Amino acid sequence: MNSSFAIWYEPKNKSDKEKSNIDLHINLWIDEHQKDDIIDFGFMINQPQYIKKFYFFIPFPIEEHNIELLTELLVDNPELANLVFNGDIDIKKTITQAHPVKIKGIDKEFYTIKYKLLQEINNTDLEHGSLLEFNFDDSLNDKPKYIRFRIKEIEENTIVVYNERAVSYLSGVSNTLVHFEININEYRKLPSDVNQHAKDLFIDINRIDMFVMTDIKMEYMFSSIEEVESRLLETKDWVAYNKRLDNQKDTNMLAYQYVKKVENNQNIEEVKYFKDFTIFNKFNYEKVKYPYIAFLVIFFTGFTGSLLSNIDTTSIFMVSVIFGGMIMFFMYPHLPFINNNRHKK
Protein backbone atom coordinates (compact mmCIF):
# COMPACT_ATOMS: atom_id res chain seq x y z
CA MET A 1 0.00 0.00 0.00
CA ASN A 2 1.49 3.32 -1.08
CA SER A 3 -0.72 5.58 1.01
CA SER A 4 -2.01 6.03 4.54
CA PHE A 5 -5.23 5.71 6.48
CA ALA A 6 -6.26 8.94 8.19
CA ILE A 7 -8.38 9.76 11.24
CA TRP A 8 -9.59 13.25 12.07
CA TYR A 9 -12.64 14.98 13.46
CA GLU A 10 -14.66 18.15 13.33
CA PRO A 11 -14.91 19.71 16.80
CA LYS A 12 -18.21 20.97 18.16
CA ASN A 13 -16.57 24.18 19.29
CA LYS A 14 -13.39 25.25 17.52
CA SER A 15 -12.46 27.56 20.38
CA ASP A 16 -12.61 24.75 22.94
CA LYS A 17 -9.16 23.94 24.30
CA GLU A 18 -10.18 20.43 25.34
CA LYS A 19 -9.66 17.71 22.73
CA SER A 20 -10.71 14.13 22.16
CA ASN A 21 -8.33 11.22 21.77
CA ILE A 22 -8.71 7.57 20.80
CA ASP A 23 -7.50 4.07 21.53
CA LEU A 24 -7.23 2.23 18.22
CA HIS A 25 -7.62 -1.52 17.73
CA ILE A 26 -6.53 -3.13 14.43
CA ASN A 27 -6.94 -6.78 13.46
CA LEU A 28 -5.37 -7.86 10.16
CA TRP A 29 -6.30 -11.37 8.96
CA ILE A 30 -3.83 -12.63 6.34
CA ASP A 31 -5.03 -15.53 4.19
CA GLU A 32 -2.36 -16.54 1.68
CA HIS A 33 -4.74 -18.99 0.01
CA GLN A 34 -7.60 -16.57 -0.78
CA LYS A 35 -5.56 -13.36 -1.05
CA ASP A 36 -8.59 -11.21 -0.21
CA ASP A 37 -7.53 -10.27 3.29
CA ILE A 38 -9.74 -8.48 5.79
CA ILE A 39 -8.91 -5.81 8.34
CA ASP A 40 -10.90 -4.74 11.40
CA PHE A 41 -10.75 -1.32 13.05
CA GLY A 42 -12.03 -0.50 16.53
CA PHE A 43 -12.15 3.10 17.77
CA MET A 44 -12.43 3.80 21.49
CA ILE A 45 -13.26 7.51 21.34
CA ASN A 46 -12.42 9.26 24.59
CA GLN A 47 -14.06 12.62 25.44
CA PRO A 48 -16.60 12.27 22.59
CA GLN A 49 -18.51 15.33 23.83
CA TYR A 50 -16.02 17.51 21.93
CA ILE A 51 -16.69 15.82 18.56
CA LYS A 52 -19.29 16.85 16.02
CA LYS A 53 -18.17 14.57 13.18
CA PHE A 54 -15.60 11.79 13.02
CA TYR A 55 -13.82 10.90 9.76
CA PHE A 56 -11.89 7.84 8.63
CA PHE A 57 -10.09 7.86 5.27
CA ILE A 58 -9.39 4.54 3.50
CA PRO A 59 -6.61 4.84 0.89
CA PHE A 60 -8.30 2.65 -1.74
CA PRO A 61 -11.77 2.52 -3.30
CA ILE A 62 -14.40 0.40 -1.54
CA GLU A 63 -18.09 -0.18 -1.98
CA GLU A 64 -20.68 0.00 0.77
CA HIS A 65 -20.99 -3.79 0.91
CA ASN A 66 -17.27 -3.97 1.77
CA ILE A 67 -17.97 -2.41 5.18
CA GLU A 68 -19.30 -4.70 7.90
CA LEU A 69 -20.13 -3.05 11.20
CA LEU A 70 -19.28 -5.30 14.14
CA THR A 71 -20.59 -3.41 17.16
CA GLU A 72 -23.93 -5.21 17.32
CA LEU A 73 -22.17 -8.54 16.86
CA LEU A 74 -20.31 -7.90 20.10
CA VAL A 75 -23.47 -6.75 21.87
CA ASP A 76 -25.37 -9.88 20.84
CA ASN A 77 -22.45 -12.20 21.62
CA PRO A 78 -20.82 -11.26 24.94
CA GLU A 79 -18.38 -14.18 24.62
CA LEU A 80 -16.97 -12.51 21.50
CA ALA A 81 -16.69 -9.21 23.36
CA ASN A 82 -14.64 -11.05 25.98
CA LEU A 83 -12.24 -12.20 23.24
CA VAL A 84 -11.98 -8.77 21.61
CA PHE A 85 -11.39 -6.86 24.85
CA ASN A 86 -9.48 -9.67 26.56
CA GLY A 87 -11.54 -9.45 29.73
CA ASP A 88 -14.82 -10.27 31.42
CA ILE A 89 -17.32 -7.93 29.76
CA ASP A 90 -20.68 -6.82 31.08
CA ILE A 91 -22.94 -5.37 28.35
CA LYS A 92 -26.38 -3.96 28.98
CA LYS A 93 -28.43 -3.97 25.81
CA THR A 94 -30.74 -0.95 25.50
CA ILE A 95 -33.22 0.42 22.97
CA THR A 96 -31.15 3.57 22.50
CA GLN A 97 -28.26 4.00 20.08
CA ALA A 98 -25.64 3.20 22.71
CA HIS A 99 -25.19 0.20 25.01
CA PRO A 100 -23.25 0.62 28.30
CA VAL A 101 -20.26 -1.70 28.60
CA LYS A 102 -18.03 -2.35 31.58
CA ILE A 103 -14.84 -4.40 31.78
CA LYS A 104 -14.97 -6.18 35.13
CA GLY A 105 -11.95 -5.67 37.35
CA ILE A 106 -10.95 -2.50 35.48
CA ASP A 107 -12.28 0.98 36.09
CA LYS A 108 -13.32 1.35 32.47
CA GLU A 109 -16.84 2.02 31.24
CA PHE A 110 -17.85 2.95 27.73
CA TYR A 111 -20.69 2.73 25.24
CA THR A 112 -20.90 0.81 22.00
CA ILE A 113 -22.40 2.68 19.09
CA LYS A 114 -25.22 1.41 16.91
CA TYR A 115 -24.99 1.35 13.14
CA LYS A 116 -26.97 4.47 12.36
CA LEU A 117 -24.04 6.69 13.32
CA LEU A 118 -22.44 5.54 10.10
CA GLN A 119 -24.02 8.15 7.86
CA GLU A 120 -22.39 7.91 4.46
CA ILE A 121 -19.51 6.48 2.50
CA ASN A 122 -17.62 8.27 -0.32
CA ASN A 123 -19.67 11.35 0.49
CA THR A 124 -17.08 14.10 -0.04
CA ASP A 125 -15.03 15.45 -2.90
CA LEU A 126 -11.98 13.50 -1.71
CA GLU A 127 -10.22 11.51 -4.40
CA HIS A 128 -7.74 8.60 -4.17
CA GLY A 129 -9.85 6.53 -1.78
CA SER A 130 -12.97 6.25 0.37
CA LEU A 131 -14.25 8.15 3.38
CA LEU A 132 -16.40 7.07 6.31
CA GLU A 133 -18.23 9.78 8.20
CA PHE A 134 -19.71 9.38 11.69
CA ASN A 135 -22.13 11.99 13.08
CA PHE A 136 -22.28 12.22 16.85
CA ASP A 137 -25.59 12.74 18.62
CA ASP A 138 -25.66 15.62 21.11
CA SER A 139 -27.68 13.48 23.48
CA LEU A 140 -24.77 11.08 24.09
CA ASN A 141 -22.98 11.55 27.40
CA ASP A 142 -19.25 12.07 27.88
CA LYS A 143 -18.46 8.38 28.47
CA PRO A 144 -16.06 6.88 25.90
CA LYS A 145 -17.77 5.52 22.78
CA TYR A 146 -16.66 2.43 20.87
CA ILE A 147 -17.15 1.80 17.14
CA ARG A 148 -15.90 -1.38 15.45
CA PHE A 149 -16.14 -2.30 11.76
CA ARG A 150 -14.51 -4.50 9.14
CA ILE A 151 -13.20 -3.76 5.66
CA LYS A 152 -13.57 -6.99 3.70
CA GLU A 153 -12.97 -8.36 0.22
CA ILE A 154 -9.82 -6.28 -0.03
CA GLU A 155 -8.20 -6.69 -3.42
CA GLU A 156 -4.89 -8.51 -3.63
CA ASN A 157 -1.82 -6.28 -3.14
CA THR A 158 -3.89 -3.42 -1.71
CA ILE A 159 -2.79 -3.86 1.90
CA VAL A 160 -0.98 -7.21 1.85
CA VAL A 161 1.39 -7.88 -1.06
CA TYR A 162 2.17 -11.41 -2.28
CA ASN A 163 5.27 -12.15 -4.40
CA GLU A 164 5.43 -15.80 -5.39
CA ARG A 165 8.57 -17.30 -6.85
CA ALA A 166 9.94 -20.81 -7.50
CA VAL A 167 12.74 -21.90 -5.18
CA SER A 168 13.50 -25.42 -6.37
CA TYR A 169 12.26 -26.73 -9.68
CA LEU A 170 13.01 -30.38 -8.96
CA SER A 171 11.53 -30.34 -5.46
CA GLY A 172 8.37 -28.52 -6.56
CA VAL A 173 8.69 -26.07 -3.65
CA SER A 174 7.45 -22.51 -4.20
CA ASN A 175 8.19 -19.55 -2.00
CA THR A 176 5.85 -16.60 -1.40
CA LEU A 177 7.16 -13.42 0.18
CA VAL A 178 4.31 -11.69 2.00
CA HIS A 179 4.59 -8.15 3.28
CA PHE A 180 2.28 -5.39 4.43
CA GLU A 181 2.54 -1.78 5.50
CA ILE A 182 -0.06 -0.01 7.61
CA ASN A 183 0.17 3.78 7.95
CA ILE A 184 -2.08 5.93 10.11
CA ASN A 185 -2.04 9.73 9.66
CA GLU A 186 1.30 9.55 7.83
CA TYR A 187 1.30 13.05 6.36
CA ARG A 188 3.80 12.35 3.57
CA LYS A 189 1.79 9.36 2.33
CA LEU A 190 -1.60 11.08 2.31
CA PRO A 191 -3.10 12.69 -0.81
CA SER A 192 -3.04 16.47 -0.78
CA ASP A 193 -6.83 16.70 -0.76
CA VAL A 194 -6.98 14.62 2.42
CA ASN A 195 -4.38 16.77 4.14
CA GLN A 196 -6.31 19.85 3.06
CA HIS A 197 -9.59 18.43 4.37
CA ALA A 198 -8.13 17.27 7.70
CA LYS A 199 -5.80 20.25 8.14
CA ASP A 200 -4.75 20.35 11.81
CA LEU A 201 -7.58 18.10 13.02
CA PHE A 202 -5.80 14.71 13.01
CA ILE A 203 -6.93 13.08 16.22
CA ASP A 204 -4.65 12.45 19.20
CA ILE A 205 -3.91 8.76 19.73
CA ASN A 206 -3.51 7.38 23.22
CA ARG A 207 -2.79 3.75 22.34
CA ILE A 208 -2.74 1.39 19.35
CA ASP A 209 -3.09 -2.38 19.68
CA MET A 210 -2.56 -4.22 16.42
CA PHE A 211 -3.00 -7.96 15.93
CA VAL A 212 -1.86 -9.82 12.81
CA MET A 213 -3.27 -13.31 12.30
CA THR A 214 -1.47 -15.72 9.98
CA ASP A 215 -1.22 -19.42 9.22
CA ILE A 216 1.34 -21.07 11.51
CA LYS A 217 3.16 -22.28 8.37
CA MET A 218 3.96 -18.68 7.48
CA GLU A 219 7.45 -17.81 8.70
CA TYR A 220 7.92 -14.48 10.49
CA MET A 221 10.90 -12.64 9.01
CA PHE A 222 10.91 -8.93 9.93
CA SER A 223 8.92 -6.13 11.53
CA SER A 224 9.65 -2.43 11.78
CA ILE A 225 8.33 -2.59 15.34
CA GLU A 226 10.88 -4.44 17.44
CA GLU A 227 8.71 -5.49 20.36
CA VAL A 228 6.22 -8.15 19.31
CA GLU A 229 4.36 -10.82 21.25
CA SER A 230 2.93 -13.94 19.65
CA ARG A 231 0.64 -16.78 20.66
CA LEU A 232 -1.53 -19.47 19.16
CA LEU A 233 -4.94 -18.10 18.27
CA GLU A 234 -7.99 -19.77 19.82
CA THR A 235 -9.27 -20.33 16.30
CA LYS A 236 -12.44 -22.25 17.21
CA ASP A 237 -13.54 -19.46 19.56
CA TRP A 238 -13.09 -16.82 16.86
CA VAL A 239 -15.18 -18.55 14.15
CA ALA A 240 -18.36 -16.64 15.07
CA TYR A 241 -16.41 -13.37 14.79
CA ASN A 242 -14.73 -14.20 11.48
CA LYS A 243 -16.75 -16.70 9.43
CA ARG A 244 -13.82 -17.41 7.14
CA LEU A 245 -12.11 -19.20 10.01
CA ASP A 246 -14.69 -21.99 9.78
CA ASN A 247 -12.43 -23.79 7.31
CA GLN A 248 -9.42 -23.33 9.58
CA LYS A 249 -10.90 -24.06 13.01
CA ASP A 250 -8.97 -27.33 13.23
CA THR A 251 -5.65 -25.77 12.17
CA ASN A 252 -3.17 -23.64 14.04
CA MET A 253 -2.95 -19.89 13.52
CA LEU A 254 -0.57 -17.43 15.09
CA ALA A 255 -1.50 -14.02 16.46
CA TYR A 256 1.20 -11.34 16.58
CA GLN A 257 0.56 -8.33 18.80
CA TYR A 258 2.12 -4.89 18.37
CA VAL A 259 1.52 -2.05 20.83
CA LYS A 260 2.27 1.66 20.69
CA LYS A 261 1.14 3.87 23.57
CA VAL A 262 1.86 7.18 25.23
CA GLU A 263 4.70 7.25 27.69
CA ASN A 264 3.32 7.84 31.17
CA ASN A 265 5.53 10.24 33.09
CA GLN A 266 4.33 11.21 36.55
CA ASN A 267 6.57 14.28 36.49
CA ILE A 268 4.74 15.66 33.45
CA GLU A 269 1.15 16.73 33.93
CA GLU A 270 0.34 17.01 30.23
CA VAL A 271 0.02 13.73 28.35
CA LYS A 272 1.99 13.73 25.10
CA TYR A 273 -0.27 11.91 22.66
CA PHE A 274 0.96 10.79 19.25
CA LYS A 275 -0.82 11.29 15.93
CA ASP A 276 0.73 8.81 13.49
CA PHE A 277 1.64 5.15 13.29
CA THR A 278 3.56 3.01 10.79
CA ILE A 279 4.30 -0.70 10.72
CA PHE A 280 5.98 -2.82 8.06
CA ASN A 281 6.07 -6.63 8.32
CA LYS A 282 7.50 -9.36 6.12
CA PHE A 283 6.69 -13.08 6.15
CA ASN A 284 7.73 -16.08 4.11
CA TYR A 285 5.33 -18.82 3.06
CA GLU A 286 6.71 -22.04 1.59
CA LYS A 287 4.58 -24.73 0.03
CA VAL A 288 5.10 -27.94 -1.93
CA LYS A 289 3.25 -28.40 -5.20
CA TYR A 290 2.59 -32.13 -5.13
CA PRO A 291 1.08 -32.46 -8.65
CA TYR A 292 4.23 -30.85 -10.01
CA ILE A 293 6.42 -33.32 -8.10
CA ALA A 294 4.35 -36.25 -9.34
CA PHE A 295 4.81 -35.05 -12.92
CA LEU A 296 8.59 -34.78 -12.46
CA VAL A 297 8.84 -38.26 -10.93
CA ILE A 298 6.88 -39.83 -13.77
CA PHE A 299 8.85 -37.91 -16.39
CA PHE A 300 12.30 -38.71 -15.01
CA THR A 301 11.37 -42.35 -14.31
CA GLY A 302 10.27 -42.87 -17.90
CA PHE A 303 13.20 -40.92 -19.31
CA THR A 304 15.79 -42.75 -17.18
CA GLY A 305 14.28 -46.17 -17.88
CA SER A 306 14.39 -45.54 -21.61
CA LEU A 307 17.97 -44.29 -21.39
CA LEU A 308 19.34 -47.13 -19.24
CA SER A 309 17.91 -49.82 -21.48
CA ASN A 310 20.44 -48.91 -24.16
CA ILE A 311 23.70 -48.31 -22.24
CA ASP A 312 26.27 -50.37 -20.29
CA THR A 313 26.99 -50.46 -16.51
CA THR A 314 29.71 -47.77 -16.55
CA SER A 315 27.44 -45.41 -18.39
CA ILE A 316 24.65 -46.15 -15.91
CA PHE A 317 26.99 -45.14 -13.07
CA MET A 318 27.98 -41.88 -14.82
CA VAL A 319 24.36 -41.00 -15.54
CA SER A 320 23.46 -41.66 -11.86
CA VAL A 321 26.26 -39.33 -10.71
CA ILE A 322 25.12 -36.59 -13.07
CA PHE A 323 21.46 -36.90 -12.02
CA GLY A 324 22.48 -37.01 -8.34
CA GLY A 325 24.52 -33.86 -8.77
CA MET A 326 21.66 -32.08 -10.49
CA ILE A 327 19.25 -32.99 -7.71
CA MET A 328 21.76 -31.81 -5.06
CA PHE A 329 22.19 -28.53 -6.93
CA PHE A 330 18.50 -27.75 -7.40
CA MET A 331 17.55 -28.79 -3.87
CA TYR A 332 20.44 -26.89 -2.26
CA PRO A 333 18.25 -24.50 -0.23
CA HIS A 334 16.35 -27.40 1.32
CA LEU A 335 19.19 -29.75 2.33
CA PRO A 336 19.11 -30.29 6.12
CA PHE A 337 22.87 -29.83 6.54
CA ILE A 338 22.96 -26.48 4.74
CA ASN A 339 22.93 -23.39 6.96
CA ASN A 340 20.11 -21.25 5.60
CA ASN A 341 20.87 -17.67 6.60
CA ARG A 342 17.35 -16.28 6.84
CA HIS A 343 16.66 -13.47 9.22
CA LYS A 344 14.43 -14.63 12.03
CA LYS A 345 13.19 -12.86 15.12
Same domain, 109 and 119: yes
Q: Quick check: is 172 in a domain? A: no
Of the given ranges (44-58, 162-176, 189-203), which has the lowest mean pLDDT?
Answer: 162-176
Q: What is the CATH number of the domain that holds 10?
A: 2.60.40
Closest by alpha carbon to 7, among 131, 193, 189?
131
Q: For the chain, state the CA radius of gyration.
A: 26
Of the given ranges (107-116, 163-172, 185-194), which has the lowest mean pLDDT?
Answer: 107-116
Same domain, 315 and 203: no
Half-sphere exposure of 167 (CA within 13 A, CB side): 19
Cβ atoms of 85 and 103 within 8 Å: the answer is yes
The 10s digit of each residue's pLDDT in 90-104 is 877 776 666 777 777
Same domain, 279 and 297: no
Same domain, 303 and 207: no
Same domain, 14 and 81: yes
Same domain, 46 and 121: yes
Give percent of the chain above pLDDT 70. 67
Print burial letters for 196-216: b (CB count within 10 Å at least 16), e (below 16): ebbeeebbbbbbbbbbbbbbe
Same domain, 283 and 294: no
Same domain, 112 and 250: yes
How many of the other CB atoms lie within 10 Å of CB of 131? 19
Same domain, 202 and 327: no
Mean local confidence (pLDDT), 299-316: 61
What is the C-alpha separation between 319 and 313, in angstroms, rounded? 10
**pTM for the complete prediction?**
0.78
The 10s digit of each residue's pLDDT in 171-219 is 556 788 899 999 999 989 998 888 888 888 999 999 999 999 998 888 8
What is the C-alpha separation between 73 and 34, in angstroms, rounded? 24
Q: Which residue range forms the structural domain that includes residue 302? A: 290-334
Closest by alpha carbon to 109, among 121, 131, 92?
92
The 10s digit of each residue's pLDDT in 11-38 is 888 777 788 899 999 999 987 766 668 8
Find the farthest-apart pair of alpha carbons in the chain and give their distance in angstroms, rounded.
96
Mean local confidence (pLDDT), 47-55: 86
**pLDDT of amino acid 6:** 94
Q: Quick check: is 341 in a domain? A: no
